Amino acid sequence: MSYNLTEEQKMFRDMVRRLTREKIAPRAAAIDHDGIFPEDIHKLLCENNLMGTSFPEEYGGTGAEFMTFCIECEELATACLNSAMIPAIQELGSTPIILAGSHEQKQKYLPRLASGEWLASFCLTEPGAGSDVASMRSRAVLNDDVYILNGTKCFITEADKAEVFTVFAKTDQEKGARGISAFIVEKNHPGFKIGKIEEKMGTKAIAACEVIFDDCRVPKENLLGQEGQGLKLAFQTLDRTRPLVGACALGVVQGSLDYAIKYAKNRVQFGNPIATYQAIQFKLANVAIEVEAARQLVYHAAAQIDEMDHINGWGDKKLRLETSKLGAMAKCFATDVAMRGTIEMAQVLGGYGYMKEYPLERNIRDVRLMQIVEGTNEIQRMVVAEALLA
């Protein structure tokens, strides 16, 4: 399987790279400092058709390959992970609708999501059900033509700004994991409210929220797929979006490497630029090697998803398992590389790497999240091991 970039993808990458350098990089430090959702960056992404890159064309997206969308988020993250997360979370929250939504549901929601007019959020994690998703306590009971939804979700990214939520809850307590169903919930549905907004170490402009459903009334037609298919849909979504997390992490560490290289060429100690010293050269080389290895794995996983879409291979259990394995590998390896590499690049700056005036301090705080979201890296290793032993 080839995952060399096409000329069209290279042109797209260069466009996003130029936009990032000119418009987003100058805002990155202020976005982090203020800790407020950057409405101007969201508007910029909408104006450049970057909110629905991989959405189907028939519903207002550009219909690009998933690989292309990974490139987009990677480039945005080189300057500002907060900004990259805006389209990335849009993809996560919308994917269940793309995968399992009826034609009517897609017509109603996807055009506004593809344009960025509406934001979407993905509601899976609960206080007592993080890695152990099947133990969720949220429940939905059908009452005539509405589901009555009760429960609390936590760490829900961008929930304070979203209009549309893909929510997972148990419709049959006796069936355990097989009793989980998925729903499309709108923020104006009665009984929906945003609770606590967490204070985080990094990505401070993109909120992690508590979402509370208190006898929330969800129309029956907002059930996604069939009852009992929710957990399968959640896992299918994560299998598709985990390489995207790896791509975002790649962007952060690539930005850190680029900055450290420039710094090392200009920083003079003992009469020479520190770039002339082998200790610094080896740091740069080691990180560059790991970044390139991680990029190839992320792109391979993205190409696998595109190939599965092309051949309609999601019904093949063996192919699906291989795709899940590659996505977990890509997310795990790339985010671990990004964490190690960003810390190492901060070391190149010495004391300045610890100062908020320089981007490395921010990058360390931001990229830490990538090892946790969409399944911790310990869970990714379990997914890989399960595939190996299947």
What residues are annotated to the active site?
Answer: 374
Q: Is 183 exposed, middle or buried (0-12, 13-18, 19+ CB in 10 A)?
A: buried
Other Cβ atoms less than 10 A from the Cβ of 179: the count is 19
The CA distance from 322 to 342, in Å, is 30
Encoded amino acid at 339, one letter: M
> Look-up: residue for tokens 């208190």?
214
> Look-up: residue for tokens 């993109």?
206
Q: Which residues contact 122 (CB under 8 A, 6 or more apart)?
A: 89, 92, 93, 96, 156, 157, 165, 166, 237
Token pair belonging to 242: 């985990």
C-beta separation of 267 from 353 below 8 A: no
The CA distance from 136 to 133, in Å, is 6
